[in-house]
Chains A and B, each alone.
Chain A
């Protein structure tokens, strides 16, 4: 009975949603409000104003950098919450999802490949302004490399390579670093995180710095969340 009721409720919501969606303007129409209100400004002026060819990065780092900062604080909060709930790696033995030892091929190949993956991650993060990519993507790739490392070479080895002492330092530093970079603009008389007052070369450097900050925060946080999930205390 309860299931039937839920189904009915779901169907109701579904009908409502579908009806709403069908009232939407045709997708991709240039006359849509989403394509006429703020977008022309971003597209025509964005690249010139921010020196970023990649408009997504431009919006994230310049027009909406305040939001970005808030978002970084949010994921940092997630990390803090996870730590508060589960504590930091108290368990002595890690629990590996795969008990079988990876074959020698996998280990040898990954030892060769991992440096290139890291280079690729840095490349994606640093070139965020000029190409597809950006700080988030680079950071996430970096995190996935760390996770791959932990999965293949064993969790204990990974903890040795990235010990908690180092990670704690970076976790705190990454968010702080972003904010400190933002504070820099106060010294030239602008608002917080307003890069427009700097000259072009300095602003490029600052954009790069912001990208690196975003990459560090997201990468380290995600990798740490994986570590925490992997090593929950267990009697």
Chain B
């Protein structure tokens, strides 16, 4: 029972594991860029989770074709699409901050 449930909800489980891995990187890795990579992994894992929620068995991509009735849920996809692009922006901003911080430290050492 448990096993079948884990298997059928594999995407959820996987997304949580990925989230934990990302969280580990954010919490325990000293390197700033590693932390940012961790944030990105967490982000994608949540996207995966959302897409998994919107999934429907045997559903086609939400692109209306005549004669097909079964589609996956388009709403999470729209949300994720927006979040993806915002994700680039935040990642870039974080990286810029990291670079600036690094250079400031370098300056202080000199």
Do A and B pair up? The answer is yes
Chain A positions within 8 Å of B, measured between CB atoms, are: 3, 6, 10, 13-14, 17-18, 21-22, 24, 26-30, 32, 34-35, 38-39, 42-43, 46-47, 53-56, 58-60, 64, 67-68, 71, 74-75, 78-79, 81-82, 85-86, 131-132, 134, 136, 140, 218, 221-222, 225-226, 228-229, 232, 234-235
Q: List 14 A-B contacts (CB under 8 A).
A: A18-B16, A22-B6, A27-B12, A53-B64, A56-B62, A56-B81, A60-B78, A60-B81, A68-B82, A75-B88, A78-B86, A229-B99, A232-B100, A235-B107
On chain B, the residues within 8 Å of A28 by CB distance are 8, 55-57, 59
On chain B, the residues within 8 Å of A134 by CB distance are 81
Query: Nearest chain A CB to B26's CB is how many angstroms away?
Result: 11
Does B64 lie within 8 Å of A47, measured CB to CB?
yes
| B53-110, CB < 8 A from A | 53-57, 59, 61-65, 71, 73-78, 81-82, 84-86, 88-90, 92-93, 95-97, 99-100, 103, 107
Does B74 lie within 8 Å of A55, measured CB to CB?
yes
A60, A67, A229: which contacts B95 (Cβ < 8 A)? A229
Query: Nearest chain B CB to A194's CB is how many angstroms away?
Result: 18
A3, A14, A35, A47: which contacts B16 (Cβ < 8 A)? A14
For residue B9, CB closer than 8 A to chain A, the reply is yes
On chain A, the residues within 8 Å of B5 by CB distance are 22, 26
On chain B, the residues within 8 Å of A85 by CB distance are 96-97, 100
Query: Nearest chain B CB to A161's CB is how many angstroms away?
Result: 21
On chain A, the residues within 8 Å of B75 by CB distance are 38-39, 42, 59
Closest chain B residue to A67 by CB distance?
B82
On chain A, the residues within 8 Å of B56 by CB distance are 28-30, 32, 35
Given A21-B9, A30-B56, A132-B61, A14 and B81 contact (CB-CB distance below 8 Å): no
Query: Nearest chain A CB to B66's CB is how many angstroms away?
Result: 10
On chain A, the residues within 8 Å of B19 by CB distance are 17
Closest chain A residue to B92 by CB distance?
A225
The 8 closest A-B pairs by CB, nearest first: A78-B89, A55-B74, A55-B62, A225-B92, A28-B57, A59-B78, A21-B12, A75-B89
Query: Nearest chain B CB to A135's CB is how many angstroms away?
Result: 10
Given A10-B23, A21-B9, A136 and B81 contact (CB-CB distance below 8 Å): yes
Does B54 lie within 8 Å of A34, measured CB to CB?
yes
For residue B11, CB closer than 8 A to chain A, the reply is yes
Distance between Cα atoms of A235 and B100 in the complex (Å): 12
Does B8 lie within 8 Å of A78, measured CB to CB?
no
Does B100 lie within 8 Å of A136, measured CB to CB?
no
Distance between Cα atoms of A29 and B5 in the complex (Å): 12
Distance between Cα atoms of A26 and B23 in the complex (Å): 26
